Amino acid sequence: MSLPPKPVPRAPRVSLWRHLRLFRADILSAQPARLYRAWMAEFRTPFFRSVLVNDPALLRCVLKERPRDFPKSDRIGAGLRPLLGASVFLTNGPLWAHQRRIIDPAFERGRLKDSFGAMRAAGDAAVTRLAPLAGGRAVEIEPFASHAAADVIFRTLFSIPIEHGTAQATYREFHAHQRSQPLLNLAAFVKGPGWMPRLHSRKTRATARRIRGLIAGLVAERAGRIEAGDAPRDLATRIMTTPDPETGARFSREEMVDQVAIFFLAGHETSASTLGWTLYLLATHPGIQERAAAEAKAFSGAFSELSKLKLIRDITRETLRLYPPVPMMVRETTRPERFRSRALGRGTQVVLSPWHLHRHERFWQDPDAFDPDRWSREETKESARRAFLPFSAGPRVCPGAGFAMAEAAVLLAALLSRYRFAPVEGDVPVPVAHLTVRSQAGIRLRVTERR
Ligand code: HEM
C-alpha cells in the first residue's frame, strides 16, 4: 500500500533568502526532514528567533502548566484582526478568560445533543447535493466539503441552512476574503519584519467589513427574537443569553459579531479540511472504506448511538493525525526561559507543530501510514497522550473539539452509507498549509452510488 501524500521537505541547508521564500509559499515543505526526529529545533533569521518544540514535557509546560507565560503574540493575529476583531482566538489574559467563560458552556459535552439534529440535517443535505455528481466523473471534493461544513455551522449557530440568503452571502464573501488576503496563510502566524502584518489590502478590509455587516444583521435579528421570547434554542441563543458567571456580563452585539466570525472561520475551514482528507484517504484505502460503510449503514442515526461509530471515529482521528487542519500554533515567551538547556530571551516565538508531532518517528510506528486500526492497539495510547494535539490542549484547547468529532462522524456516516469514493488515477493531492492544511491543487475523487 503506498503512503498518503506528504510534502517533500526542503534540503538540509538553504540560504536565508530561499528559506523565507519557501516559508511564504508553504510552511510545511519549507521545513527540513530532521524536524520529524528532533525534540526541538531553532531558527534564527534577522527578523525573528523561533524554536519549534516537539518535546512532550515542553508542550505540557507551554499549553497546560504555565499557559499565561506563553500568550499568543499580537502580531500573530494581525492579519486576521480586520475580520475577527477581538474574538476569543486572538485575545489573551482577562478578556480571553471572560470570553471562554461565556462560550465554553455552549459547547460542553452535555449540550452536544442540542446541535445533533442540525448536524444530521446538514449531512442529509450534503448527500442530496452530491447526487447529481455521483455518476463516476471526477468531483472536486474540497468545495463540496467546505459547503457541507459551512452548512453545519449556520444550522447549529443560527438555525438556518446554507441556502438562506444571508448564509450564502457570508459564505461567498468569506471565500473572496481568503483569496484577497494572501497573509491569511501560516506565514502570517510567524513573526516577520514589523511591516508585514500591516499589509491589509483595501480589498481585504472591504470584504472583512462586508462579512461583519452580514453577521451583525444575523446577530441583531437574533437579539430581537430573544427579547420577544421566540428565539430557537441554538448555539447563538445560548451564547447570547449566557452571562459570565464571574462578572454577570453578557456579550454586547459587537462582541458577538467577533465570536461568530471566529466560529465560522475556525469551525468550517477545519472541518472541511478534515472531511476532504478523510474522503481521499478512504478512496485510496477501499478495504477500510467498505468496513466504514458497513458501520455507517448499521447506524440508526440516534444521538445515543453515536458512540457505536467506532471505526469512523478512529478514521477521523487518523486523518487528524496525518493532516491536522491546524498544522502549527505559535506562542511567545514573556520572560527569559530555558528550554532543553537552551536559553531563550523574551519575545521568542515558540512554534508547536501538530504536523511534525503527529508524524514524529520517535512517537509513532509507521508514522506516515494511514492505519485507523492503530487507535485500538495498546501501544497507541502512549503516543496519543504525548504526541497528538489536533485540537491543542490546556485552557486554550479548541472549544469545538467535541462538536467537530460529532460533526465528522455524522457527515461521514451519511455520505458513506449512500456513496462509494474512488481515486482519480494519477491525481495525487499535495498538502500545503493555507489557513488550514489543504491540497495545493484540490482533491478530485470519483463518486458512485452504492447499490
Ligand atoms: C476538525 C475541526 C477542528 C480542529 C482541528 C480545530 C483545531 C483547533 C486548534 C488547534 C485550536 C487552537 C489554536 C491555537 O491555540 O493557536 C483551536 C481553537 C479554536 N477553535 Fe477549533 N478546531 C476545529 C473545529 C472547531 C469548531 C467546529 C469550532 C466552533 C464552532 C471551533 C472553534 C474554535 C475557537 C473559538 C478557538 C479559539 C480558542 C481559544 O483561543 O481560546 N473549532 N481549534
| Ligand 1 centroid distance, CA of 395 (Å) | 12
219 C-beta neighbours (distance < 10 Å), count: 23
CA-based nearest residue to 282, from 309, 324, 314 = 314
- Which residue puts its alpha carbon closest to atom 41 of ligand 1? 396
pLDDT digits (tens, 9 = 90+) for 68-125: 999 997 766 677 888 899 999 999 999 999 999 999 999 998 899 999 999 999 999 9
For residue 325 and ligand 1, the question of a CB distance below 6 A is answered with: yes
10: pLDDT strictly greater than 90: no
Residue in 99, 270, 312 to alter for ligand 1 test, most ligand atoms within 8 A of Cβ:
270
Could you give the CA distance from residue 438 to residue 416 in angstroms, rounded to a whole number?
A: 22
| Ligand 1 centroid distance, CA of 399 (Å) | 6
| Ligand 1 centroid distance, CA of 298 (Å) | 31
- Give the residue ranges of DSSP H helices in 284-369: 286-297, 310-322, 354-357
Q: Which residues pair with 135 in a beta bridge?
A: 448
Residue 368 phi, psi (nearest 5) = -95, 0
CA-based nearest residue to 317, from 246, 252, 377, 256 = 377
Please report the sign of the dihedral spanned by the C-alpha atoms of residue 373, residue 127, residue 324, residue 32: positive
264: pLDDT strictly greater than 80: yes
| Ligand 1 centroid distance, CA of 266 (Å) | 5
pLDDT computed for residue 76 by the predictor = 65
pLDDT digits (tens, 9 = 90+) for 292-317: 999 999 999 999 999 999 999 999 99
Could you give the CA distance from residue 334 to residue 22 in angstroms, rounded to a whole number?
A: 29
Closest atom of ligand 1 to 90 CA is: 40
pLDDT digits (tens, 9 = 90+) for 134-170: 998 999 999 999 999 999 999 999 999 999 999 999 9
